[in-house]
């Protein structure tokens, strides 16, 4: 096995798939560009959904990349050896090109060939789709298993797991309960413990086996009557857990001991007084995630992505208290610095936003301190109330109030319990857990919509709204000035929402000018051209880019222009998809213009027929 740094592995993976005819495409943003149903990009395939559904990708039919991902649904696992809230996924895709044999062979070659990673085949095991009782017409994926066996994997090392096709569980990928593309997957596991030999018989529940790679074969279309038809365009979508493979290649048994975390853990070790390894890992994970989110200009708030960021930062502070950190600000700043230093060579948006990241994190830390001191007053009121109105045996703080303290003031439940017990009051922990679970379910649904996301709505009208955000962006810059930059967007089939940097409320005249600008492009039936080029070329053509997509080879540039005169309306770096031409879109109308946060305005607009 080779001993590689994380940077070497990233490069080697892309090099391998380049040799196999893949175009390397950039990582997209952590915030899904065209999918309001999920808060974060949760897998490498997420930004590629439109192309997996049949749109042509300008870079071709074989794609590979590394993709920034966030999974808040995994937050309770964080602190174990392999689950992070932020991680990179390495991926390769076939859009109607190669299928199972090549996909499996290449995964095997990359992992086991001495020329590449050189893992010992004896430490590898495989799961395959084992059918679903409710769908006897769907075959067990013997085809995949046979390919593995032909490569030398022993039958005992291949487990067939019965899937829950309706719930997209166990070796099955597909839109839950919906119609559309779906299919079986095969997962690759590695035996991590160095001191125990890998068991001959593979038991996926044995924790020594860690899933490192998942190859999905989009093979079927689920039709209206819940039958599975073979798809015309069969796709492959794979996701390799970058941090997990780095862990394997550096011969350690958890991701925090890899070079991905080494400088971060060093700071945390130095600045904490209590040695609680899980708490330290949570601080490391959460602060890294916070830095990546802030680098994409997400700010702490009470809604959407901002709320997740707020929770993550406050949870960090809570664990810093647990570890009796003497100087919290110092720890925060040193970790931020370590993360930025470590990751900026690959993700330049971190260094570019260093001041912003430091400022926002420090401010949120202060706000939390204020909230806690405010919460204490409220808390004391509850306690007095309980004392005054109940006999001693009935002096209990309800789960609802304990949750309110947690949710509104950021009170950790452990802290609430401790403080209440000091004055002889018990806390209804069960009630709290229930309220908490319900809340978590909601946020889980929001983020773990997982792959369902992009599939939910890929309609023509949603795509048209996405194209209009580009035109709107150009109009705003023309009317208000070049300081205007996109800060977020959210699109449904009914409207578009667009956030941008601008200090003042728009005047009626400005709004009218902007509407006219956009409607002018619509009435000239603007056309859309998609091109792949290097970042330098893209910038040279005057393309504007969001904060993302600035690294890793080529970028896709969408140009919107007047097909009669070639006048260019907009040129932007973007992941797509877009309409080809504007026809019968109707009239663009700004419905609302308001402040979104300091220095950021928000427009809601619709198309009226
Ligand atoms: P697990 O069962 O271990 O949570 P998963 O089935 O959720 O994994 P996939 O959705 O198949 O994982 O994602 C593809 C790959 O991404 C996995 O094989 C794994 O290596 C990696 N991965 C998934 N979740 C995480 C995470 N929270 N942190 C780090 N890597 C992850
Ligand atoms: Mg998982």
The CATH number of the domain holding residue 569 is: 3.30.980.10
Task: Say yes or no: 109 and 249 in one domain.
Answer: yes
Task: Say yes or no: 172 and 186 in one domain.
Answer: yes
> What is the pLDDT at residue 507?
95
Of 306, 327, 393, 336, nearest to 600 by C-alpha is 306
Q: Which of 70, 82, 174 to mutate to test the pocket of ligand 1 (most atoms within 8 A of CB)?
A: 82
Pairing mode of beta strands 486-491, 172-173: unpaired
> What is the pLDDT at residue 458?
61
Q: Is the pLDDT of residue 142 over 90?
A: yes
| Ligand 1, atom nearest to 240 Cα | 15
User: Which residue segment(s) compose the domain that 308 sits in?
Assistant: 261-369
Q: What is the mean pLDDT of the chain?
A: 90
Nearest ligand to the C-alpha of residue 241? 1
Among 212, 232, 257, residue at a domain's last position: 257
Distance 580 CA to ligand 1 centre (A): 36
> What is the pLDDT at residue 54?
84
Distance 76 CA to ligand 2 centre (A): 11
> What is the pLDDT at residue 451?
34
> What is the pLDDT at residue 447?
42
Place of tokens 């260093």: 354
pLDDT higher for 451 or 78?
Answer: 78
| Ligand 1, atom nearest to 210 Cα | 3
Q: What is the CA radius of gyration of the chain?
A: 26
**pTM of the full structure:** 0.74
> What is the pLDDT at residue 546?
53
Task: Say yes or no: 241 and 274 in one domain.
Answer: no
Task: Say yes or no: 195 and 275 in one domain.
Answer: no
Q: Is the pLDDT of residue 402 over 60?
A: yes
Nearest CA to ligand 1 atom 3: 211
Pairing mode of beta strands 426-427, 172-173: unpaired
Task: Say yes or no: 359 and 470 in one domain.
Answer: no
| For range 360-384, the mean pLDDT | 90
144 close to 100: Cβ distance less than 8 angstroms: yes
Q: Is the pLDDT of residue 34 over 80?
A: no
208 close to 198: Cβ distance less than 8 angstroms: yes
> What is the pLDDT at residue 603?
96
| Ligand 1, atom nearest to 185 Cα | 11
Task: Say yes or no: 36 and 169 in one domain.
Answer: yes
Handedness of CA 584, 590, 591, 597 (dihedral sign): positive
- Out of 208-222, 480-494, 511-525, least confident range: 480-494
Task: Say yes or no: 75 and 151 in one domain.
Answer: yes
Give the integer Cα–Cα distance in Å for 236 and 522.
Answer: 37
Which alpha helices (DSSP H) does 64-113 contain, by range? 100-112
Give the integer Cα–Cα distance in Å for 471 and 247.
Answer: 45
Nearest CA to ligand 1 atom 23: 241
> What is the pLDDT at residue 438?
78
499 close to 468: Cβ distance less than 8 angstroms: no
Task: Say yes or no: 140 and 253 in one domain.
Answer: yes
Q: Answer yes or no: is the C-beta of 90 below 6 A from any ligand 1 atom.
A: no
Distance 83 CA to ligand 2 centre (A): 8
Q: Is the pLDDT of residue 193 over 60?
A: yes
- Assess if residue 96 is contained within a domain: yes
> What is the pLDDT at residue 202?
97
> What is the pLDDT at residue 440?
66
Among 310, 340, 369, residue at a domain's last position: 369
> What is the pLDDT at residue 225?
82
- Out of 113-122, 198-207, 332-341, 594-603, least confident range: 594-603
pLDDT higher for 447 or 417?
Answer: 417
Q: Answer yes or no: is the C-beta of 89 below 6 A from any ligand 1 atom.
A: yes
- Assess if residue 513 is contained within a domain: yes
> What is the pLDDT at residue 537?
81
Give the integer Cα–Cα distance in Å for 16 and 213.
Answer: 16
pLDDT, tens only, 553-606? 677 889 999 999 999 999 998 877 788 889 889 999 999 999 988 888 999 999
- Assess if residue 276 is contained within a domain: yes
Nearest CA to ligand 1 atom 1: 211
Q: Answer yes or no: is the C-beta of 73 below 6 A from any ligand 1 atom.
A: no
Distance 239 CA to ligand 1 centre (A): 8
Query: Other CB atoms closer than 10 Å to residue 120's CB: what's the count?
Result: 12
> What is the pLDDT at residue 415?
75
| For range 296-322, the mean pLDDT | 87
* Share above pLDDT 90 across residues of the chain, in percent, rounded to a whole number: 66
Give the integer Cα–Cα distance in Å for 260 and 243.
Answer: 7
pLDDT, tens only, 230-253? 988 999 999 999 999 999 999 999
> What is the pLDDT at residue 206?
96
> What is the pLDDT at residue 460?
77
- Assess if residue 399 is contained within a domain: no
Q: Answer yes or no: is the C-beta of 91 below 6 A from any ligand 1 atom.
A: no
Task: Say yes or no: 224 and 288 in one domain.
Answer: no
The domain total for the chain is: 3
Nearest CA to ligand 1 atom 24: 83
Task: Say yes or no: 17 and 163 in one domain.
Answer: yes
Task: Say yes or no: 253 and 266 in one domain.
Answer: no
Task: Say yes or no: 248 and 267 in one domain.
Answer: no
Give the integer Cα–Cα distance in Å for 538 and 531.
Answer: 9
Of 124, 123, 109, 16, nearest to 66 by C-alpha is 16
| For range 393-408, the mean pLDDT | 90
Predicted confidence band at 321 (pLDDT cuts at 50, 70, 90)? confident
Nearest CA to ligand 1 atom 30: 241
3-state secondary structure of 298: coil
């Amino acid at each position: 096995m080779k001993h590689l740094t994380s940077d070497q592995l990233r490069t080697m993976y892309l090099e391998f798939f380049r040799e196999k005819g893949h175009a390397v495409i950039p990582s997209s943003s952590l915030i899904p560009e065209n999918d309001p149903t999920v808060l974060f990009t949760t897998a490498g395939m997420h930004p590629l959904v439109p192309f997996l559904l049949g749109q042509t990708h300008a870079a071709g039919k074989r794609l590979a990349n590394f993709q920034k991902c966030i999974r808040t649904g995994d937050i309770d696992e964080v602190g174990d050896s392999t689950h992070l809230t932020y991680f990179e996924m390495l991926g390769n895709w076939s859009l109607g090109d190669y299928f199972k044999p090549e996909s499996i062979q290449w995964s095997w070659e990359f992992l086991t060939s001495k020329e590449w990673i050189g893992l010992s085949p004896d430490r590898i095991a495989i799961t395959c789709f084992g059918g679903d009782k409710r769908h006897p017409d769907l075959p067990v994926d013997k085809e995949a298993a046979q390919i593995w066996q032909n490569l030398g994997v022993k039958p005992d090392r291949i487990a067939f797991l019965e899937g829950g096709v309706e719930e997209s569980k166990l070796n099955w990928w597909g839109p839950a309960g919906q119609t559309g593309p779906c299919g079986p997957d095969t997962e690759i596991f590695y035996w991590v413990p160095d001191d125990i030999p890998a068991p001959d018989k593979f038991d996926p529940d044995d924790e020594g086996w860690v899933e490192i790679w998942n190859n999905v074969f989009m093979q079927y279309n689920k039709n209206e009557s819940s039958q599975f038809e073979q798809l015309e365009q069969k796709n492959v979508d794979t996701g390799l857990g970058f941090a997990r493979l780095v862990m394997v290649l550096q011969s350690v048994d958890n991701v925090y001991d890899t070079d991905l975390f080494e400088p971060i853990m060093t700071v945390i070790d130095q600045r904490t007084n209590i040695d609680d390894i899980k708490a330290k890992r949570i601080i490391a994970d959460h602060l890294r995630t916070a830095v990546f989110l802030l680098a994409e200009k997400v700010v702490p708030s009470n809604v959407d992505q901002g709320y997740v960021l707020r929770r993550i930062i406050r949870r960090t502070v809570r664990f810093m208290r647990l570890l009796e950190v003497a100087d919290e600000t110092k720890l925060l700043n040193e970790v931020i610095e370590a993360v930025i230093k470590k990751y900026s060579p690959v993700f330049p948006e971190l260094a570019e936003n260093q001041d912003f990241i430091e400022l926002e994190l420090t401010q949120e830390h202060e706000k939390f301190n204020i909230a806690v001191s405010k919460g204490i007053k409220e808390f004391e009121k509850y306690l007095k109330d309980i004392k005054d109105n109940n006999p001693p045996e009935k002096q209990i703080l309800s789960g609802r109030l304990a949750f309110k303290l947690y949710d509104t003031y950021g009170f950790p439940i452990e802290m609430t319990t401790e403080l209440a017990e000091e004055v002889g009051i018990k806390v209804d922990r069960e009630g709290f857990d229930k309220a908490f679970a319900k809340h978590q379910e909601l946020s889980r649904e929001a983020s773990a919509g997982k792959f369902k996301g992009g599939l939910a709505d890929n309609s023509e009208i949603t795509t048209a709204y996405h194209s209009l955000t580009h035109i709107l962006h150009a109009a705003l810059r023309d009317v208000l000035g070049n300081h205007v930059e996109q800060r977020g967007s959210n699109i449904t089939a009914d409207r578009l929402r667009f956030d941008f940097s601008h200090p003042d409320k728009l005047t009626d005249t400005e709004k009218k000018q902007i509407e006219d600008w956009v409607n002018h492009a619509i009435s000239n039936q603007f056309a859309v051209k998609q091109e792949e080029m290097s970042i330098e070329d893209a910038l040279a053509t005057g393309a504007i880019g969001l904060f993302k997509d600035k690294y890793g080879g080529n970028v896709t540039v969408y140009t919107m222009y007047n097909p009669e005169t070639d006048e260019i309306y907009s040129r932007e770096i973007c992941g797509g998809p877009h309409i080809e031409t504007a026809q019968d879109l109707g009239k663009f109308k700004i419905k609302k213009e308001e402040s979104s946060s300091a220095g950021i305005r928000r427009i809601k607009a619709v198309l009226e027929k």
